[in-house]
């Protein structure tokens, strides 16, 4: 059975009315440590989630040194059973002895996400599935792996393994990240701390057979959107995370 | 002394002696087997270097690289095998054991991105492991993690500020750090870039249709101006980017770094920056446009 989740960063996003079918919240973001929720925000959102009978997963970002202590301190106040998505191995190293419900985030699972993937030769497709990789992280204590809803198939069907459990993020597929913003905005033109999102369509090609997706830029990352979910997901993909609550009604099950 | 680490690739091998004479202390190189392009050393796309300005960045003849390593060993020069692709299919284990084992044993270190392979490569005889810039290490706890699984050297992403790099080096004196310098090609963080480069069309970041927008992600520049504090830490080495680049550029890169490294007379940052700009103009005939992310 598939568990449907939404990613949020602020409490007011939970006021969005149409969240029928959602059973879990992913609280946080992956690319900006400056936007990690405070303890007070986590407490507030946890109360609302409890009232709405929603479970919570804490989504953590890549973390530069200047944010590390504050984020780590906040997370260590949470119960040890809290589900935490790890996108920085430094955070894993800091939490491994206290928190044991850890998920390997999509930034740490290297799969090719170029929008041109579906026009390449087979050898360029899906080269990420390697049991050595997943066994390594299972031995570290991770119990779930998270990937993007890329436009090609998730697994090489000859090599999939049911012992690895996966979640899939959509519609935003993050392809490139630039991290030189994380110095209190001193050197970045794109400010990650502003409340207003900066989303631009930066590329759209008329040759849709080559580039079927538009590319977008937001904060410090490039992404494309893939709204289509394979209806017949494999048994070991049992969680879907909608990256933006306002795009819930655009998801297509095919 | 801060070591200079230069890229090594087939087009550069005729110039090895000159590069060593001008100050390079070690070389890093890649090897691919053309029968298995998708599971070998770092290669975002098969046709990445389609421009005539570039040459093959990897060795494709195993005998050639073995002969070259032996030649460098006779000159007491270290070599590091690059095995830092982000993605591998499940055929990679056989490939490593069948093709790479003796190269791993010959090399002085192996540069790896994927932590799942650290122990495997150690078991195959690697003398040392270097955590590639693809591990995208941004904080001290990450350094501890990679040290715990076997790395004794960390390649620092370009996005880390100079003062943080120095702090890392002071906090972990038992480790070496590699500071990427010159030939800044990519505006994105290496370990977090999942696009193709140049296949079959141009890279996402350099495609002319979007370069205006991508330009707002400032590139890092040569980073010579940042070296004042870096050179005070003996466990930070200077890694010249650019496997497959024009050999003449790499030779100049080594020369300019060697001159900068050797100058011990300058004691303040302002004079240091004037000095490095002067040396940059001397070798590259171009004025620094100050449009890079120079750390203050």
The mean pLDDT value for B142-150 works out to 97
List of chain A residues whose C-beta atoms are within 8 Å of the C-beta of residue B89 = 126-130, 156, 159
Question: In chain A, whose CA is at the least distance from the CA of B193?
Answer: A176
Mutate to test the interface with A, among B47, B217, B296 (most CBs of A within 10 A): B217
- Candidates B177, B221, B126; CA nearest to B5 is B177
Chain B residue closest to A155 (CA)? B89
Nearest CA in chain B to A202: B210
**What's the complex ipTM?**
0.90
Q: What token pair was written down for B135?
A: 């591990």
Say whether A222 and B204 touch across the interface (CB within 8 A).
Answer: yes
Say yes or no for a CB contact (<8 Å) between A182 and B143: no
Q: What is the mean pLDDT of residues A44-61?
A: 94
B3-31 exposure pattern, b = at least 16 Cβ within 10 A, e = fewer: bbbbbbbbbbbebbeebbebbbbbbbbbb
Q: How confident is the model at residue A41 (pLDDT cuts 50, 70, 90)?
A: very high
Q: Yes or no: say if A126 and A152 are a contact pair by the CB < 8 Å rule.
A: yes
Are the C-beta atoms of residues A148 and A175 closer than 8 Å to each other? no
Say what the pLDDT of residue A82 is. 95
Cβ of A222 and B141 within 8 Å? no
pTM of structure: 0.91
Chain B residues inside the 8 Å CB shell of A141 = none
Share of chain B above pLDDT 70, in %: 79
Chain B residues touching residue A190 (CB < 8 angstroms)? 216-217
Contacting residues of A for B296, CB less than 8 Å apart: 186
* Nearest residue in chain A measured CA to CA from B211: A202
Distance from CA of A70 to the nearest CA of B (A): 13
* pLDDT recorded at residue B41: 38
For A69-78, B35-44, B60-69, which range has the lowest pLDDT when averaged over its residues?
B35-44
Question: Would the CB atoms of B196 and A114 count as touching at under 8 Å?
Answer: yes
**Is the Cα dihedral A119, A203, A63, B130 positive or negative?**
positive
User: Which whole number is the average pLDDT over A51-78?
Assistant: 93
- Chain segment A232-241, per-residue pLDDT in tens: 666 678 899 9
**Least confident window among A244-253, B64-73, B147-156, B265-274:** A244-253
Interchain pair B216, A189: CB under 8 A: yes
Closest CA to B67 of B23, B102, B18: B102
| Percent helix, strand and coil across chain A, each to the nearest 5 | 25, 25, 50
Q: Which of B115, B142, B146, B191 to mutate to test the interface with A (most CBs of A within 10 A)?
A: B142
Out of A66-70, B147-151, B180-184, B209-213, least confident range = B209-213
Q: Angle CA(B229)–CA(B232)–CA(B237) in degrees, nearest 5?
A: 95
- Omega before residue B200 within 30° of 0, cis: yes
CB-CB neighbors (< 8 A) of A159 in chain B: 89-90
| Region for residue B125 given its phi and psi (left: phi exceeds 0; alpha: psi -120 to 50; beta: otherwise) | left
The two tokens of residue B187 are 């505006």
Is the Cβ–Cβ distance between A202 and A215 less than 8 Å?
yes
Q: How confident is the model at residue B14 (pLDDT cuts 50, 70, 90)?
A: very high
For residue A86, give the H/E element and its range.
strand A83-86
Distance CA A200, CA A215 (A): 9
Give the least confident one: A141-145, B30-34, B79-83: B30-34
């Amino acid at each position: 059975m598939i568990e449907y989740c939404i990613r949020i960063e602020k409490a007011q996003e939970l006021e969005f009315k149409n969240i029928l079918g959602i059973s879990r919240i992913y609280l946080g973001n992956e690319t900006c440590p400056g936007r990690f929720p405070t303890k007070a925000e986590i407490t507030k959102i946890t109360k609302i989630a409890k009232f709405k009978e929603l479970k919570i997963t804490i989504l953590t970002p890549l973390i530069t040194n200047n944010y590390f202590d504050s984020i780590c301190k906040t997370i260590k106040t949470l119960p040890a059973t809290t589900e935490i998505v790890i996108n920085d191995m430094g955070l894993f190293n800091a939490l491994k002895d206290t928190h044991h419900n850890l998920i390997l985030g999509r930034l740490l699972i290297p799969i090719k996400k170029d929008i041109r993937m579906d026009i390449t030769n087979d050898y360029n497709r899906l080269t990420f599935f390697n049991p050595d990789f997943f066994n390594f992280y299972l031995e570290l204590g991770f119990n779930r792996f998270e990937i993007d809803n890329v436009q090609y198939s998730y697994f090489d069907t000859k090599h999939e393994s049911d012992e690895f459990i996966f979640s899939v993020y959509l519609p935003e597929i993050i392809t490139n990240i630039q991290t030189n913003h994380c110095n209190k905005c001193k050197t970045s033109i794109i400010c990650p701390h502003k409340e207003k999102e900066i989303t631009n369509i930066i590329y759209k090609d008329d040759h849709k057979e080559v580039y079927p997706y538009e590319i977008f830029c937001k904060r410090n990352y490039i992404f494309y959107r893939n709204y289509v979910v394979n209806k017949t997901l494999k048994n070991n993909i049992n969680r879907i995370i909608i990256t933006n609550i306002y795009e819930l009604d655009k998801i297509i099950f095919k | 002394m801060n070591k200079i680490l230069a890229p090594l690739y087939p087009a550069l091998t005729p110039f090895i002696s000159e590069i060593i004479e001008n100050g390079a202390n070690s070389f890093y190189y890649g090897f691919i087997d053309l029968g298995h392009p998708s599971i070998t050393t770092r290669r975002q796309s098969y046709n990445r270097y389609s421009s005539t300005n570039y040459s093959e960045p990897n060795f494709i003849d195993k005998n050639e690289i073995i002969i070259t390593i032996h030649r460098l060993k006779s000159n007491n020069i270290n070599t590091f095998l690059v095995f830092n692709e982000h993605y591998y299919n499940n055929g990679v284990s056989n490939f490593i054991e069948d093709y790479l084992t003796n190269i791993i044993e010959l090399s002085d270190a192996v540069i790896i991105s994927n932590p799942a392979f650290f122990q495997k490569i150690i078991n195959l005889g690697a003398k040392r492991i270097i955590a590639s810039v693809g591990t995208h290490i941004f904080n001290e706890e990450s350094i501890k993690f990679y040290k715990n699984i076997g790395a004794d050297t960390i390649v620092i992403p370009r996005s880390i500020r100079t003062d943080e790099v120095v702090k890392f080096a002071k906090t972990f004196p038992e480790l070496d750090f590699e500071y990427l310098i010159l030939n800044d090609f990519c505006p994105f963080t290496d370990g977090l870039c999942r696009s193709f480069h140049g296949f079959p069309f141009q890279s996402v970041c350099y495609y002319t249709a979007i370069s205006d927008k991508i330009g707002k992600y400032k590139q890092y520049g040569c980073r010579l101006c940042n070296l004042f504090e870096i050179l005070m830490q003996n466990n930070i080495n200077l890694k010249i980017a650019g496997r497959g680049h024009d050999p003449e550029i790499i030779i100049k890169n080594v020369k300019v770094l060697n001159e900068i490294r050797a100058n011990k007379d300058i004691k303040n940052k302002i004079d240091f920056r004037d000095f490095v700009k002067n040396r940059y103009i001397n070798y590259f005939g171009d004025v620094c446009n100050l449009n890079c992310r120079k750390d203050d």
